[in-house]
Amino acid sequence: PFVAVDHVRAHMYSPHIENDIDYPYLGLLVSGGHTVISAVREFDDVEVLGTTIDDACGEAFDKVAKFFGFGFPGGIAIDELARRGNDRAFSFPNPSLHKGEHRYDVSYSGLKTAVINQLEGFHNAGFEKSRENIAASFQKAAIDILLKRLYLAAEDTGLTRVVVGGGVAANSYL
């Protein structure tokens, strides 16, 4: 038989399989294909607050890892390298989104481009340009983009419980 499954909601609800989670909460889906912040009020009452306007968070991890030859999947490879690096070695930019009614949206295209094509311009003097430092600085910037929007959503909605699903949920910095 054919069973239809909403892929995005499946990621979001997967933490319920092993945990008794009360509603309401902020749902954070972070994977290679999706980055979504939602207000989840009940099982079937979900409001998407923000999403990616270009590359998903996990996709940016994969593309940066592929470019530098860190390994695949990129999220795991970067997370392992980042543990041995210094996240202050590079000051990568945060996106500047000028969409007032979309205050929870995220963008990873500019960060990915900065790391891959403009690395020298973001290097901080006194730090080695090592694989570990690139990974640590990129990981911090990528997750901070997400956390900034998530904290904003928590402040605006009053929801303080966060449920995270998707592959990037395993990131040690997140």
According to the model, what pLDDT value does residue 12 have? 83
Instruction: Give the distance from CA 91 to its chain's centroid.
Output: 17
According to the model, what pLDDT value does residue 26 have? 97
Instruction: Give the distance from CA 79 to its chain's centroid.
Output: 12
According to the model, what pLDDT value does residue 6 have? 86
According to the model, what pLDDT value does residue 100 have? 62
pTM: 0.92
Q: Report phi then psi at 50, rounded to 5.
A: -155, 155
Contacts of 125 (CB under 8 A, 6+ apart): none
pLDDT along the chain (174 residues), means of 10: 87 89 96 93 94 93 97 95 98 78 88 95 96 98 96 96 94 97
According to the model, what pLDDT value does residue 102 have? 78
According to the model, what pLDDT value does residue 7 have? 84
